[in-house]
């Protein structure tokens, strides 16, 4: 599981690659932590290379979103594949995130 966070075009972009299962969740959460400090910028989570996600991963996404929204920021999901999207859909996450 790789997490790369870049500032790009004024947005904070997190590139996620690999399987975000429960085992990878703690590490990923830690890696994503910088996003919680972002202020005044939109957060884009690029899921192009995200192959797998379980509820542990979804909780990280939810935490980032709730944090960002408290600050008035936006969290966008980008490049999500069909399989992962299915998980998003069945859990209702597809409704709470914005997409780019």
Backbone angles phi, psi at 73, to 5 degrees: -95, 170
As given in the structure block, the two tokens for residue 40 are 């005044």
Instruction: Residue 50: name the closest of 75, 26, 28, 72 by CA.
Output: 28
Does 22 participate in binding other proteins (rule CB under 8 A)?
A: yes
- What is the rounded distance in angstroms from the CA atom of residue 19 to the CA atom of residue 87? 13
> 8 or 19, CB closer to other proteins?
19
End-to-end Cα, the chain, rounded Å = 22
Q: Closest approach of Cβ 19 to other proteins, in Å? A: 7
Site residues for other proteins, 39-98, by CB under 8 A, read 52-56, 58-59, 62-63, 65-66, 69, 82-84, 86-87, 90-92, 95-97
Binding residues for other proteins, rule: CB under 8 A, are 19, 21-25, 52-56, 58-59, 62-63, 65-66, 69, 82-84, 86-87, 90-92, 95-97
């Amino acid at each position: 599981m790789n997490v790369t966070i870049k500032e790009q075009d004024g947005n904070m972009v997190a590139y996620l690659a690999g399987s975000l299962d429960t085992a990878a969740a703690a590490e990923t959460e830690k890696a994503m932590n910088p996003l919680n400090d972002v202020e005044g910028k939109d957060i884009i989570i690029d899921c192009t290379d995200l192959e797998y996600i379980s509820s542990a991963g979804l909780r990280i996404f939810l935490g980032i979103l709730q944090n960002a929204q408290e600050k008035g920021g936006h969290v966008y999901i980008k490049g999500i594949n069909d399989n992962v999207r299915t998980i998003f859909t069945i859990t209702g996450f597809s409704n709470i995130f914005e997409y780019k």
